Structure 1
Amino acid sequence: MASQHATAQPFGEGIPYGDPYWYQGMPSPYYKETHFRFRALVRGFVEKEIMPFAEEWGKTRYPPELHEKAYQAGIAGAIFPAEHGGTPPEDFDAFHELILWDELARCGESGVLGQLSINSMAIPPIMHHGSKYLKDKVLRDVIIGKKFCALAISEPTAGSDVANIQCSAKREGDFYIVSGQKKWITGGLMADFFTVACRTGGPGMGGISLLLLEKDMPGISVRKMETQASGAHHTSFVTLDDVKVPAENLIGEENAGFLYIVTNFNHERFVIATGASRYARMCLEESIRHAKTRRTFGKRLVEHQIIRHKIAEMARQVETTHDMLERVAFAFSNKVKDREMGGMAALLKVQASMTFEFCAREASQIFGGSSIVKEGKGRIVERLYREVRATAIPGGSEEILRDLAVRQAKL
């Protein structure tokens, strides 16, 4: 194993802890030349096509054309099979995906990351369980960036409690009649398709199915929801009023949708955790930059012992979180079954969101007043601080995920 993996040359700006250890030239058992090339590809794209504009997009909207541009660059299609239009790198594995979400998160706007990642959550049920008809209708156009697909699971009365969703789909001949509401739907305003969880059977998890809805179907209305964090998400409230959906739009088997959803959640939590880990690292990186130049009481901040201790604790938590990310990526790469990853993915997401929250607070303390205004040297930290709750809650709150990890362990 070790002989197949080369040691990377130093990459990036070289700020201590500003990038993962292997960017600093340290050896790793996980990465080889194909990962080094992909890392350079994604970083170059993010720095040229996203970072100069991300802050403005956060105030307005995600530009749909960005996805197609990212696909043409070999980025947006990297995690999908070639048979559906994907452009996976040589010897693709979960570490390529870890690099993708980690580097994309460097833009510091969850709305941009969310829009680029939502397809990776909305179309896998179609890819793994959908008919050839549905695959042909959706996959290629979404993967190449011509169209978009949103995942519509949560409702006003059922967020993490998926088994109790109320949106109904009643079979009438060759159609389902779908009625209900969906809330917090990422990308809803720009979606051409919706992967919708709805109740086709009795109460509980055994009565849930997935249906593909198309934006032009009568009875679908979508409005934007203003959020605490980035405005680029197009976070939406979706109302479904007697939407007539062809039965052929059923994804997989009727009343088997809950299993498809919870399997998909493990991957979603990996994606969210990767972004949160990079956000935490950005807080640390910005703190180090600031501490080396800002002077108080006659000396640089970094010369104050308390500031050094803050930086050290941030670094400890960031590096620990990245090690955990790699452990989960290694499991995915070795084909560990999704149903066996629930507890590990849940604890990873908790670790990442708590690390991000800690680092955002400590960075704010180090920057002081500069961290509470949306301009100047502290604007990145200010922006990231607003992303904390948008990381800790979506994909399962910390409380629910802790409980999930213990329940799966069957103590």
Structure 2
Amino acid sequence: MASALTSEIPGADPAWHRRHDHPYFKESHYKLQRFVREYVDREIAPNVEEWERNAEVPEAAFKRHASLGFLAASAFPIPKEYVKGVTLPAGLSVDEWDEFHDAIIIDEMARCACLGTIWGINGGATVGGPPPRPLWVATAEGKISCSSSAWTATSLSLFGSDVAGLTTIAKKTPDGKHYVLSGEKKWVTQGRWATHGLVAARTGPAGAKGISVFIVPLDNEKISKRKIENSGVSSSGSTYMEFDEILVPAENLLGKENQGFEIIMSTFAHERLWVGITALRLGRVAYEDSYRYALKRETFGKPLFENQVIRQKFSRMANLLEPTQAYVEELVYRSVRLPSLDFSPLAAMLKVQAAHNLEKISRETQQVFGGLGYSRQGQGQRVEQISRDVRVLVVSGGSEEILLDMIAKQQRKLAHL
């Protein structure tokens, strides 16, 4: 696949691609965008169909991804004091990295059009916690390292669903040196090959005030793992795990006991921003592929695009993409300038809007392709893949029903009404 800075298809890329006039970009942003686009086009996109079919991203691809600095850049904001000297993508330095570099990687990685690969090669790579616990961060070698520990991991999974009401339990041993962890976790991304996991467990009373988070070695005979068969995201390593009274060293507690809820919740705003950016780009991918097809596919003696009803489909899809792009740009800018409580409902709005838009675009682009949009091979392959992945973006990071209620409550509270 030939790589270009921008697609010739109108609407396939944001408007700033054509003019290099983004109001917040410096030369380093354009450099990074080109670097990631060429990397995805050359090393990721040609392989996603095979990786999805095999339900795994090869270890060599994962290590290559790490060697280019993508895992080190996956934390947001980057903990600069822990990654000094680490090479980031495009050879950029830690000191010049900002929120728009983060957004560029999210956006360009999504051009591979396979959510399973995005999660399988980059998801769950970096974790951390408040003082006095050290911060764990992915290094350029693709390992998880800790400032006060010698043990490392080739990948790390983050899991702990049903946050305030979770039932996984961790009890401290009488000597205080370990916790005994029992319970189960579902939909653990990278769970089949991760060597460590960030696990939320109940250590105190019911509700949010009794949750703690642990870094757990997963190479343990008392941990059973089973592959989860999903509609899509096959290469993400989605796993069901059971913990049968495993011992976790007390020093693996992240942050303080019973204060893990804050750690978990602190990730949600950026996760929802990530979902918004990813859903927007997947919408552009489906739009671009169907646009190309409509230009060359002939029906009743003329190209499909020459039918007014088809042109209207593309105009309606563009009317979903471009306003969302403007909102993304605003939220990326505000992500480091607003208090987290103020930013949270805005990110939730983006997540709901972008995922809902992708559902509509997925349907319309499959309509343009006809039967080819239902095939896992050929010209409509990416559109078909997106149609299976879209639902997990609608649900992940909070379903729209829950988020819409949360948005209204949070905004009223912020307004002191």
Aligned counterparts of 2:178 and 2:221: Cα–Cα separation in 1: 14
CA-CA distance at 1:50 after TM superposition? 0.6
Q: Which amino acid aligns with 2:166?
A: I
Percent identity between matched residues is 35
- For 2:148, the equivalent position in structure 1 comes to none
Aligned counterparts of 2:153 and 2:255: Cα–Cα separation in 1: 24
The change in CA–CA distance for 1:386 and 1:42 in structure 2 (over 3 A counts) is same
- For 2:149, the equivalent position in structure 1 comes to none
Aligned counterparts of 2:38 and 2:381: Cα–Cα separation in 1: 23
| 8 Å CA contact retained: 1:152, 1:197 | yes
Cα displacement string for residues 280-320 of structure 1 (whole angstroms, at most 9, x for unaligned residues): 01111112101111122222121111111110111111112
- For 2:254, the equivalent position in structure 1 comes to 251
CA-CA distance at 1:252 after TM superposition? 0.3
| 8 Å CA contact retained: 2:128, 2:254 | yes
Choose which of 23, 45, 53 in structure 2 pairs with 1:51: 45
> Is 2:98 the partner of 1:108?
no
Greater alpha carbon shift after TM alignment, 89-98 vs 258-267: 89-98
Q: Which aligned pairs between 1:374-385 and structure 2 lie closer than 5 A?
A: 374-385=376-387
| 8 Å CA contact retained: 1:76, 1:143 | no
CA-CA distance at 1:93 after TM superposition? 1.0
Q: Which amino acid aligns with 1:363?
A: T
> Is 2:392 the partner of 1:390?
yes
Choose which of 10, 15, 19 in structure 1 pairs with 2:9: 15
- For 1:402, the equivalent position in structure 2 comes to 404
Choose which of 146, 149, 159 in structure 1 pairs with 2:156: 149
Q: Which amino acid aligns with 2:97?
A: F
Aligned counterparts of 1:248 and 1:146: Cα–Cα separation in 2: 17
SS at match of 1:189: coil
CA-CA distance at 1:189 after TM superposition? 0.8
SS at match of 1:169: strand
The change in CA–CA distance for 1:108 and 1:366 in structure 2 (over 3 A counts) is same
Q: Which aligned pairs between 1:185-224 and structure 2 lie closer than 5 A?
A: 185-224=188-227
CA-CA distance at 1:83 after TM superposition? 4.1
Q: Which aligned pairs between 1:120-139 and structure 2 lie closer than 5 A?
A: 123-126=126-129, 128-129=130-131, 131-132=133-134, 135=135, 139=138
CA-CA distance at 1:143 after TM superposition? 5.4
Instruction: Name stretches of at least 5 consecutive residues in structure 1 with no aligned partner.
Output: 1-9
SS at match of 1:212: strand
Q: Which amino acid aligns with 1:11?
A: L
CA-CA distance at 1:406 after TM superposition? 1.1
CA-CA distance at 1:119 after TM superposition? 2.5
- For 1:238, the equivalent position in structure 2 comes to 241
Q: May I ask how many residue pairs the two structures share in their alignment?
A: 389
Q: Which amino acid aligns with 1:111?
A: G
| 8 Å CA contact retained: 1:165, 1:198 | yes
Aligned counterparts of 1:42 and 1:356: Cα–Cα separation in 2: 23
The change in CA–CA distance for 1:125 and 1:73 in structure 2 (over 3 A counts) is closer
| 8 Å CA contact retained: 1:59, 1:230 | no
| 8 Å CA contact retained: 1:287, 1:311 | no
- For 1:41, the equivalent position in structure 2 comes to 35
Aligned counterparts of 1:28 and 1:82: Cα–Cα separation in 2: 25
Aligned counterparts of 1:378 and 1:19: Cα–Cα separation in 2: 19
The change in CA–CA distance for 1:142 and 1:327 in structure 2 (over 3 A counts) is farther
- For 1:226, the equivalent position in structure 2 comes to 229
- For 1:5, the equivalent position in structure 2 comes to none
The change in CA–CA distance for 1:124 and 1:324 in structure 2 (over 3 A counts) is farther
CA-CA distance at 1:39 after TM superposition? 0.6
Instruction: Name stretches of at least 5 consecutive residues in structure 2 with no aligned partner.
Output: 146-151
> Is 2:346 the partner of 1:348?
no
Aligned counterparts of 1:82 and 1:143: Cα–Cα separation in 2: 16
> Is 2:62 the partner of 1:67?
yes
Aligned counterparts of 1:23 and 1:147: Cα–Cα separation in 2: 35
Aligned counterparts of 1:67 and 1:338: Cα–Cα separation in 2: 32
Q: Which amino acid aligns with 1:147?
A: T
Aligned counterparts of 2:261 and 2:6: Cα–Cα separation in 1: 42
> How large is the Cα RMSD of the aligned pairs?
2.0
SS at match of 1:65: helix
| 8 Å CA contact retained: 1:129, 1:251 | no
